[in-house]
Structure 1
Amino acid sequence: MAKKKKLSIAIQGIATSFHEVAALTYFNEPIDTIECLSFHRLCESLKNGEADYAVMAIENSIAGSILPNYFLLQEYHFSIIGELYLPIHMHLLTLPGVKLSEITTIESHPMAIRQCAEYLHALKNVEIRESDDTALSAKRVKEMKLKTTAAIANEHAAKKYGLQILEKRIETHKKNFTRFLVLTKRSHDKKESNKASLSFEVANEVGSLADALMTFKNNSINLTKIQSIPIIGKPSEYSIHIDVEWKRRKQYDDAMHQVLLQVKNLNVLGEYKKGKIEYK
């Protein structure tokens, strides 16, 4: 019997990063991860067929939306097939034996830094440095033996690189989660979907956006996210990204038929099953 080939999943960051944890959690099977130090590289990996799927963070409950990733969704036209809400616990990692008073630099991914802003602002005489990835920061501390540098990362990174957790749970709010999207180039079966991500444009006229959104309300469609993105080269014009949920598919289909007549460039980025938010 032939051995099943592992799925290849593009992630932003390296092993033990939150993206890898999200990928392992979502697929719940052995996978091969393709490490990408930027979201653009992640998209290129999926586009070029190096990966079967990609897992991309899109928003955090403390730091907010990752706006550049909305531009990438528009540029690459991938299909969203799923989402995952991952609880995020941030820890301050150092070489064993290092004390907080010895730390002069703390580094991590910009989104991680934003999630720990309250803790970091209280520190005195410490430089905050941005890096490409939380796990990569932990790896740097270990491999370069940085005795005065701490990394913000998760417990998986601490274990992998033999670092001590100097301070636990330094995120500003303890009910912290990041929403990840699962992307593919291929179409998929939408039978079990109850959520969709859409983008569209509206005329620069009074009430044009409100009219489109009222169509969803009138069809009992729940609007869970709205995000405006500037249209490059068109000052004062925006692409509207929304997430909607429904209980009956017909309600969604009826709303979409009506919205088609109200907006321009309607794009269904994906129809998928709503993810669960479970705090830990």
Structure 2
Amino acid sequence: MKPKKPRVAIQGIRASFHEEAAFRYFGEDIETVECNSFKQTFEALKNGDADYVVMAIENSIAGSILPNYSLLLSYSFPVVGEVYLPIQLHLMALPGVKFEQIKYVTSHPIAIRQCVDFFDEYPHLKIVESNDTAACAKRIRDEKLTDTVAIANTLAAKLYELDVLERRIESNKKNFTRFLILTTHENAKTDKPNKASLCFQVSNEVGALAKVLNIFADQGINMSKIQSMPVLGKPAEYNFYVDVEWEESRKYDLTIKQILKYTHNFNILGEYQRHVEEGLTDKLPVKKDKSKRAYIEVKKLVK
């Protein structure tokens, strides 16, 4: 019997950067579930319409996507993986259209901002913002627009049969977006995790956060990211979202036990294998996890 394709919910439509990230993590033999918003991707997972969610969490230029941290906590679906995607932006148009015919450029606002150096050379072009890079490419194809170009990736050019007029127009050639892979607790499997995403609060007193961070340092646990967000309706209280990496799982387990003494509302959002950053442009292997390292063990610790 042929294995069932994983159903992967993404924000946006086919050929968006989210689908490209999904391809890099799972391979191209997937069923893409298109959603209009990040919240809808979680609802699709919650309602059983998807098996996984691929969600952008930060960009090397634009920074953290803060609302998505709130979704992580609200829905409590475990993070089971990550992928870094190089953001390469191309200018594309209907076949046969020449650059001299172009009057309008359309794309997502962030994509447009990442190409400001290119457009400084062509001040006569009118910028039109939209909610999705791939949707802009699709619109050019569907409406047969001969005076408009889109900024999108090569997947969009291929799927919507557009010609690439200019390649790599992004100002920063080392721009990456980090995506998280989430699934249900029943489906969560992690083989030899070496990275975790945590969330916790500390008391509002001098040195409270420093005590926690010093525990990471003392145990040789690398903290690769920290992000704070106010707790809704509670002035002067913050959730701290922390990503940590380790070489020895024993030291990680010991660290978790120790920091529980100095935190409250502690959550492990996910334990997974970190994306090795060497050769980020290479395709990631599909993870065929067999072990069930568990959230059950974590719950025992928290208790």
TM range (shorter): over 0.9
Query: Which consecutive residues of structure 2, in runs of 5 or more, have no partner in the other structure?
Result: 282-303
- Secondary structure of the corresponding residue to residue 179 of structure 2: strand
**Partners of 1:29 and 1:263 in 2: CA distance:** 41
Query: What is the root-mean-square deviation in Å for CA atoms of aligned residues?
Result: 1.8
Instruction: Report matched runs for 1:1-80 at 5 Å.
Output: 2-28=1-27, 30-80=29-79
Deviation at 1:179, TM superposition (A): 0.9
1:82/1:272 contact within 8 Å kept: yes
**Partners of 2:121 and 2:69 in 1: CA distance:** 32
1:8/1:32 contact within 8 Å kept: yes
Partner of 2:269: 269
Q: For residues 54 and 146 of structure 1, do their structure 2 counterparts lie closer, same or farther at Cα, with a shift above 3 Å needed?
A: same
Residue 249 (1) aligns with residue 249 (2): yes
**Partners of 2:170 and 2:218 in 1: CA distance:** 39
| Aligned AA (1:274) | R
Worse-matched range after superposition: 217-226 or 143-152: 143-152
Deviation at 1:29, TM superposition (A): 5.5
Q: For residues 122 and 69 of structure 1, do their structure 2 counterparts lie closer, same or farther at Cα, with a shift above 3 Å needed?
A: farther
Amino-acid identity (%): 54
| Aligned AA (2:126) | E
Deviation at 1:101, TM superposition (A): 4.5
Residue 132 (1) aligns with residue 126 (2): no
2:78/2:270 contact within 8 Å kept: yes
Partner of 2:174: 175
| Aligned AA (2:261) | L
Partner of 1:237: 237
1:61/1:176 contact within 8 Å kept: yes
- Secondary structure of the corresponding residue to residue 220 of structure 1: coil
Deviation at 1:50, TM superposition (A): 0.2
Deviation at 1:119, TM superposition (A): 3.1
Partner of 2:143: 144
- Secondary structure of the corresponding residue to residue 214 of structure 1: helix
Worse-matched range after superposition: 176-185 or 24-33: 24-33
Query: Which consecutive residues of structure 1, in runs of 5 or more, have no partner in the other structure?
Result: none
2:80/2:189 contact within 8 Å kept: no
Cα deviation digits, residues 69-107 of structure 1 (max 9, x gap):
111111111100001112221111122343445433322
Deviation at 1:48, TM superposition (A): 0.8
**Partners of 1:122 and 1:206 in 2: CA distance:** 51
Q: For residues 123 and 232 of structure 1, do their structure 2 counterparts lie closer, same or farther at Cα, with a shift above 3 Å needed?
A: farther
Normalising by structure 1, we get a TM-score of 0.93
Partner of 1:208: 208
- Secondary structure of the corresponding residue to residue 48 of structure 2: coil
Instruction: Report matched runs for 1:146-161 at 5 Å.
Output: 146-161=145-160
| Aligned AA (2:31) | D
1:62/1:172 contact within 8 Å kept: no
